[in-house]
Each structure stands twice: as C-alpha cells, then as structure tokens.
Amino acid sequence: MDNKQIFSEIIVQILGFLIVFAILKQFAWKGLLGAIDARRRKIEEGFSEIDGKKRDLEELHREYRSKIANIEQEARAKIQEAAGEGLRVAGEIQEKARQDAEKIVERARVEIQQDLQKARLEMRDETVEVSSLMTEKILRQKLDAKEHERLVEQFIKEMEGVS
C-alpha cells in the first residue's frame, strides 16, 4: 500500500467520523445530555432528601435526649419526695413510740405508788396485828423486866422479818 492510499483511507475515516458525530450531535446528543442531567438531578434530590432525613433524625435524637433528661429529673424528684415522706413517717412513728413509752412509764409509776400504798397499809395492819398479839401475850403472862425485854427483842426480830 502506498502512502496515497493510506492517506485517502484516513480522510475517509475522518469524514465518516465527522458525519456520524454531526448526526449524533443533531439527534442523540441532546437526548443523551438530557438523560444525564435528569439522572444528576435525581441523584441530587436523593442526597437532599437524605440530608433532610438526617436533620430530622438529629432533631428527634435531641428531643429524646431532652425527654430522657426530664424523666431522670422527675425520677430523682420523686425519689427525694418519697425519702422525705419516709423520714416524716419515721418521725411520726418515733414520736408515737415515745408517747406510748411515756404512758407506760406513767402507768408503771401509778401502779408502783398504788402497790407502795397497799404495802404500807398491809404493813400498818400487820404492825397493829403484831402489836395486839404482843399486847395479848403480855397481858397473859406475868411480866417481869427480863420477860419484857425478851418480848421486845422478839417483837423487833419479827418486825425485821416482815420488812
């Protein structure tokens, strides 16, 4: 092949390429660019939608965090309120127990006073009884000084045994 023939084939190919390019530019280029632009807009809209949803999720996340913080504060407040109520009830129970103890002590004092009074009366009655028995013994026996001393000592020993 000679150079002329190669050169003519190159020119034919260039002309063919230019004809195909012109036809494609006239009829297909606008459609192809339109499809590419439509796809690009669709992708941009998708990214915009994703960004919007991401902002919505972030806002929802902040709201939930705020609600959780409020719930925790309310829980602490309720726990403190319950603790205060527990302390108040404990104070009331202690006060009632103190009052009950005072009543029991007062009743015990009254009972002790009554028992003491009763014991004094019994002791007085026994003293009177012993005295009258002593007097009766003395009257029955002939008393001399020795016998009188012996009876007094016996009376004292009996009294010590009673108390």
Residues 84-130 have pLDDT tens digits of 988 888 999 999 999 999 999 999 999 999 988 888 888 877 877 77
Whole-number Å distance between alpha carbons of 18 and 12: 10
Check residue 123 and give its pLDDT: 83
Whole-number Å distance between alpha carbons of 133 and 141: 12
Check residue 142 and give its pLDDT: 60
Q: Which sign does the torsion angle of CA 119, 122, 127, 130 carry? A: negative
Tell me the pLDDT band of 162, cut-offs 50, 70 and 90.
Answer: low
**Coil/strand/helix, residue 2:** coil
Tell me the pLDDT band of 133, cut-offs 50, 70 and 90.
Answer: confident
Nearest-CA neighbor of 123 among 135, 115, 112, 111?
115
Cβ partners under 8 Å of residue 17, min gap 6: none
Q: Which sign does the torsion angle of CA 103, 107, 112, 114 carry? A: positive
Query: In this structure, are residues 158 and 123 in contact, taking their beta carbons and an 8 Å threshold?
Result: no
Average pLDDT over residues 125-149: 73
Higher pLDDT, 28 or 76: 76
Check residue 124 and give its pLDDT: 77
Tell me the pLDDT band of 135, cut-offs 50, 70 and 90.
Answer: confident
